[in-house]
């Protein structure tokens, strides 16, 4: 019950509207302050990092090895730090423990992407499923035809290789339009214009391939005999008016991504592996000794040999450790603000996982700068580690739901390619060229100077080379 004195006070207060207004305002202010204070106690601060830069301060970031710079900054600010570039907040994670939080414990929050302007252009406005020598294997699976069999196909293969190489280069070029979306339409560096030009070239190639396939089907009056290739399946789905049907743009976007991710990465890593082997001739000899034992000098490498090449597998894994194909992986973009390592990662930030730094961290690896394949071999001689992303000290292809979907195919293609090159030929470096192992940052980590190596016949039977 309300006492008489309290009722009297309330009656007097409500009788004076000005005093009532002031009282309610005071209560509201107190409520807001208390709520703010309580929420502040449970809100984590943003990660440390350098202050925002003036406009001209962004220019150096357009032409640097970001994985090197981010590693230096991590030594100063810690395993998670923020960097304000343009209108966007960038968060860099450089430890395996925090990487696990991002790609496993909060994988659903960090599963989104914030693709660059050029990435949107080349994928037909985001018409894709992933965002993500080898070229012949991939194209054979996709539309049933190698690019080395006919003259017409050879010309198409050369054209396709050139445009894919240019697209990968453009995707890896820092773009001021991504830092300042307000000026994106101006395309100050001309990257968007060039990407659209390359897209038009690529679109012409795909149109020729698809039109040829459709025409062939009509001429034959039905389905092609034998097993269906990927293009045939997609074209059939296109004709269905269902939720799983595809448009031509979606098919082209998917093809762009598969070819880009399945060819350029493989050839780049093959170059890194060959470069490391030529830098370490004793290790090269051990690889060739294994090939001689498993394959034999009177045979060429076949798919059945791949699973027995444990030392070559270790060489490949060690190269992926020192030269991960995507040193910062592909950026993630949280769909809500969350906590990582005691810091707030704001919604919409670009989150990088500095795999390059994790793979070279002396806390995780003994003598991390040494090329030592034995670290990937168990005492019983079997392979140690894998590419599944469960050991967060070694995640060259990422982890969680955004892990590279083509790992298994790429792994087999790479082992087969390297085994064939190393078993069939001996390799030497030109005497008048410096052997350089420095890298050049991009969406795919490439050698700064292309590898030049001289092959010579290794097998005695020349017929094996036909």
**Per-residue pLDDT at 385 exceeds 80:** yes
| Residue 454 counted as domain residue | yes
Tokens representing 318 are 């060690």
How much is the pLDDT for 451?
Answer: 92
Q: Residues 99-123: what's their mean pLDDT?
A: 80
**Per-residue pLDDT at 202 exceeds 70:** yes
**Per-residue pLDDT at 168 exceeds 70:** yes
Rounded to the nearest 5°, which phi and psi values hold at 127? -80, 80
Please tell me which residue, 407 or 242, carries the higher pLDDT value. 407
How much is the pLDDT for 132?
Answer: 33
| Arithmetic mean of pLDDT over the chain | 79
| Residue 96 counted as domain residue | no
- Which residue, chain included where needed, has tokens 């001739």? 281
Please tell me which residue, 402 or 280, carries the higher pLDDT value. 280
How much is the pLDDT for 20?
Answer: 52
Domain containing 291 equals 117-465
How much is the pLDDT for 264?
Answer: 72
Contact 126, 114 (CB under 8 A): no
**Predicted confidence band of residue 133 (pLDDT cuts 50, 70, 90):** confident
Q: Residues 195-221: what's their mean pLDDT?
A: 73
| Residue 132 counted as domain residue | yes
Is the Cα dihedral 217, 159, 423, 419 positive or negative? negative
Is there a binding annotation on residue 333?
A: no
**Predicted confidence band of residue 285 (pLDDT cuts 50, 70, 90):** very high
Least confident piece of the model among 30-34, 202-206, 335-339: 30-34
- Which residue, chain included where needed, has tokens 């085994």? 419
Q: Residues 256-263: what's their mean pLDDT?
A: 68
- In this structure, what CATH number is given to the domain that contains residue 165? 1.10.630.10
How much is the pLDDT for 129?
Answer: 36
How many residues are listed for the chain in this entry? 466
Looking at the chain, the whole-number percentage of residues with pLDDT higher than 70 is 71
Three-class secondary structure of residue 135 per DSSP: helix
| Residue 246 counted as domain residue | yes
C-alpha distances in angstroms, 73 versus 5, 54, 80, 398? Answer: 66, 19, 10, 22
Least confident piece of the model among 191-205, 208-222, 404-418, 429-443: 208-222
How much is the pLDDT for 444?
Answer: 83
Please tell me which residue, 357 or 380, carries the higher pLDDT value. 357
Q: Residues 291-308: what's their mean pLDDT?
A: 94
Q: Residues 164-170: what's their mean pLDDT?
A: 78
What is the count of structural domains for the chain?
1
Least confident piece of the model among 46-60, 118-132, 252-266, 301-315: 118-132
User: Cα separation of 451 and 466, whole Å?
Assistant: 26
**Per-residue pLDDT at 427 exceeds 90:** yes
How much is the pLDDT for 17?
Answer: 53
| Residue 19 counted as domain residue | no
**Per-residue pLDDT at 387 exceeds 50:** yes
How much is the pLDDT for 287?
Answer: 97
- Which residue, chain included where needed, has tokens 């001289």? 454
- DSSP string over 280-333: -HHHHHHHHHHHHHHT-TTS---GGGGGG-HHHHHHHHHHHHHS-SSTT-S-B-
pTM to 2 decimals? 0.75
**Predicted confidence band of residue 244 (pLDDT cuts 50, 70, 90):** low
Q: Residues 122-127: what's their mean pLDDT?
A: 53
- DSSP string over 213-248: HHHHHHHHTSPPSSS--HHHHHHHHHTS-STT---H
Please tell me which residue, 162 or 375, carries the higher pLDDT value. 375
Q: What's 437's DSSP letter?
A: -
User: Cα separation of 207 and 235, whole Å?
Assistant: 13
Rounded to the nearest 5°, which phi and psi values hold at 350? -90, 120
**Per-residue pLDDT at 37 exceeds 50:** yes
Q: Residues 266-273: what's their mean pLDDT?
A: 90
């Amino acid at each position: 019950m309300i006492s008489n004195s309290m009722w009297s006070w309330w009656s007097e207060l409500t009788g004076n509207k000005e005093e009532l207004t002031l009282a309610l305002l005071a209560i509201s202010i107190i409520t807001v302050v208390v709520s703010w204070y309580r929420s502040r106690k449970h809100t984590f601060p943003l990660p440390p990092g350098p202050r925002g830069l003036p406009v001209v301060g962004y220019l150096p970031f357009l032409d640097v090895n970001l994985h090197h710079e981010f590693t230096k900054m991590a030594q100063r600010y810690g395993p998670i730090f923020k960097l304000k570039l343009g209108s966007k907040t960038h968060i860099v994670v450089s430890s395996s423990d925090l990487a696990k939080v991002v790609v496993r414990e909060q994988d659903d929050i960090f599963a989104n992407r914030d693709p660059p302007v050029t990435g949107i252009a080349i994928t037909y406005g985001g018409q894709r499923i992933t965002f993500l020598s080898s070229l012949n294997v991939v194209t054979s699976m996709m539309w049933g035809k190698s690019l080395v069999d006919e003259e017409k196909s050879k010309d198409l293969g050369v054209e396709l290789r050139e445009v894919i190489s240019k697209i990968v280069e453009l995707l890896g070029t820092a773009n001021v339009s991504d830092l300042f979306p307000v000026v994106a339409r101006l395309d100050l560096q001309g990257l968007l214009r060039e990407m659209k030009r390359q897209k038009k070239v690529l679109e012409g190639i795909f149109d020729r391939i698809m039109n040829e396939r459709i025409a062939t089907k009509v001429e034959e009056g039905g389905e092609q005999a034998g097993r269906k290739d990927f293009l045939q399946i997609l074209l059939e789905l296109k004709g269905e008016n269902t939720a799983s049907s595809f448009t031509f743009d979606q098919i082209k976007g998917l093809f762009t991504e598969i070819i880009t991710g399945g060819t350029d990465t493989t050839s780049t890593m093959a170059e890194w592996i060959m470069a490391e082997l030529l830098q370490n001739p004793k290790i090269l000899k051990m690889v060739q000794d294994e090939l001689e034992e498993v394959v034999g000098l009177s045979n060429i490498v076949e798919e059945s040999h791949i699973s027995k090449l444990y030392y070559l597998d270790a060489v490949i894994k060690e190269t992926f450790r020192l030269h991960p194909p995507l040193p910062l992986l592909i950026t993630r973009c949280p769909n809500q603000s969350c906590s990582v390592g005691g810091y707030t990662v704001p919604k919409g930030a670009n989150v990088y996982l500095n795999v390059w730094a994790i793979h070279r961290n002396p806390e995780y690896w003994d003598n991390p700068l040494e090329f030592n394949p034995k670290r990937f071999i168990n005492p019983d001689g079997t392979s140690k580690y894998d590419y599944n992303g469960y050991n967060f000290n070694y995640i060259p292809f990422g982890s969680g739901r955004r892990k590279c979907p083509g790992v298994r195919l790429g792994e087999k293609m790479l082992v087969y390619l390297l085994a064939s090159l190393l078993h069939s030929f001996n390799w030497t470096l030109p005497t008048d060229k410096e052997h350089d192992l420095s890298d050049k940052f991009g969406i795919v980590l490439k050698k700064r100077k292309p590898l030049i190596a001289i092959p010579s016949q290794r097998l005695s039977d020349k017929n094996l080379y036909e």
